[in-house]
Each structure stands twice: as structure tokens, then as C-alpha cells.
Amino acid sequence: GHLIDGTIIAVKQLSSKSQQGNREFINEIGMISALEHPNLARLYGCCIEGNQLLLIYEYMENNSLARALFGEEEVQLKLDWPTRHKICVGIARGLTYLHEESRLKIVHRDIKGTNILLDKHLNPKISDFGLARLDEEEDTHISTRIAGTRGYMAPEYALRGHLTDKADVYSYGVVALEIVSGKCNTSYRTKEAEKAYLLDWALVLQENGSLMELVDPSLNSYDEEEVLRVINIALACTNTSPILRPKMSSVVSMLEGGTPLGELSLNPISESSDDLKSKAIVDYHEQKDHGQSRTDHRETCTIFRFINICC
């Protein structure tokens, strides 16, 4: 669609299953639409007509990161290493803004490739951040109903509902590994295993000292030192212990070379904590009705988990 001034927009329809009043809905959208950052998809506003709830976003010419990396072959984009590195940095900057710089401290809760959009210059923009959870400053963590996507959720959140901004850091680490490998975390295949989580396989390669095997074979040339830096940062972000995960501002600095990796905790597989990693998350979700899986491949979603908690 288009705005009156000719601006191209994307319209997203939300399901309406809440008793929350329209006035409160508009107020919450108003707060979130005030957030502005080059790496956040701009939310222009909303429209309520009958039972229809519509969100108005800026239009992204290159669709989602997930489609670019592992969509159908005809819609995939050939992303060279400098572009992939730029995307890693951009996502990290967007999360830094949400966690540390914005007036509203926001935990996204669902960072994944389908929620990272790419503009015409392949700059990444985090979308659906308005559906996230406000992080009240007086709380060190938030215990809340779990909402996220299998394979990207931090173990402490998936198992106990313990939510801090470090849950987003974990999800970012998974996405960074996907960017390096060009493979989806939840459908990765290896020679040794018919199907495995990309993160779990990365930990095996880390133990074997062969992390460069993760690199997307379609990349013809790349800076090996820079690639290894991104992998190590991703592994630090996915540490089982949220306390040991870096802040997103530190991630940005490390990605740009301003801060050395130093003594990053790279989540060694010998921690004997596999049950708190991907397997635990799988087990948790398998106990739930399959229909409750969050928006892996759907265009519709609900905003009401954000509104009900925040009002």
C-alpha cells in the first residue's frame, strides 16, 4: 500500500482474541511507534476497523533474512561475506538500542531470521519489536508466559520463563551462526547426524577445533579471522548461563574490532549442560500442543501478549 505522501508501506493484520480495549491498544502502539533507529523497522501506526487490527510498517524491498538465506532457491539472495558481516552488526546495533539506549527498555523475545527484514541496500531491520515485552527498570528479570520460537529461545526462558535482555542475546547468537553458515538452526543436517541443531553442531566443531567447517560453502572469499570472530561471539552469546553472555553493546564493539574478544565464555560442550540447551527447548515444546507453535512461517501474529502484560 501507499501513504498519502506516496510512501510505500507494508500492512500486517493481527488476530483479535483479547478483551483489551482499543484505547489501550492505540496508546501502546503510540509509545512503540516513537522508537526510531536505522536497524528497526519503522512502525508508522495502526488501524482498527471492526474486529480487524492492522499494523502499518515501512516496506522492506528484500523481504526477510530467513528467506534470503534459506528460502526457496529462486528467492534466496547471494549474500557475500561483507554483506553478512554488515547484517550481523546491524542486528546487534538494533538490539543495543532496544536494550540500552531507548527510553523504553524492550526485550524482543522472538529474534529470528523471519523477524529481520532487509531493505533495498540489504541493511537489516528488526521487525515486530512492538510485540515485545517492556523491561521494567525496577525488575532484574521478568517471569512471564513463554512466547517465542523453538530453536531460538534461551534455555532459562524456555524452561522457567525467566526473561531478561540476555534472552535476546542468546537468540542473536543463533541467528549469527545462521548468517555464517547459511543454514537454518532448526533444520541443519550433518554427515554424522541426519538432523541436528546448528548450535549443537557448532559446539561439537568447537571442541574439535574445526569451527571453520560452519562457513557457508557458497562464500567464495571471506576474511577468515573476521568470520572466526563472528562465530566465537555467537557462541559467547549462546552461553548456557545468561550472566556470562555479553551485552549487545559489547557485541557491537567486538564485531567492529573495537574491543578484543578477551576472555569470552564460549559455552564449551564439556559443561555437561546439554539438557539446558537445544534438547531441553525441544522437549519443552513437544509437551505443548503443536498448534501453539509461534510464528515460524506465518504472516499473522498476536500483539496481545505485549498489551496484556504492559498495561
| Residue type (1 letter), 127 | S
Q: How many residues does the chain have?
A: 311
**How far is the C-alpha of 182 from the C-alpha of 120, rounded, in Å?**
20
Query: Which residues are catalytically annotated?
Result: 110
C-alpha cell at 276: 539446558
Q: Which residues of 231-240 are buried (b: 16+ CB within 10 A; e: fewer)?
A: bbbbbbbbbb
Question: How many of the other CB atoms lie within 10 Å of CB of 298?
Answer: 9
**How far is the C-alpha of 29 from the C-alpha of 116, rounded, in Å?**
20
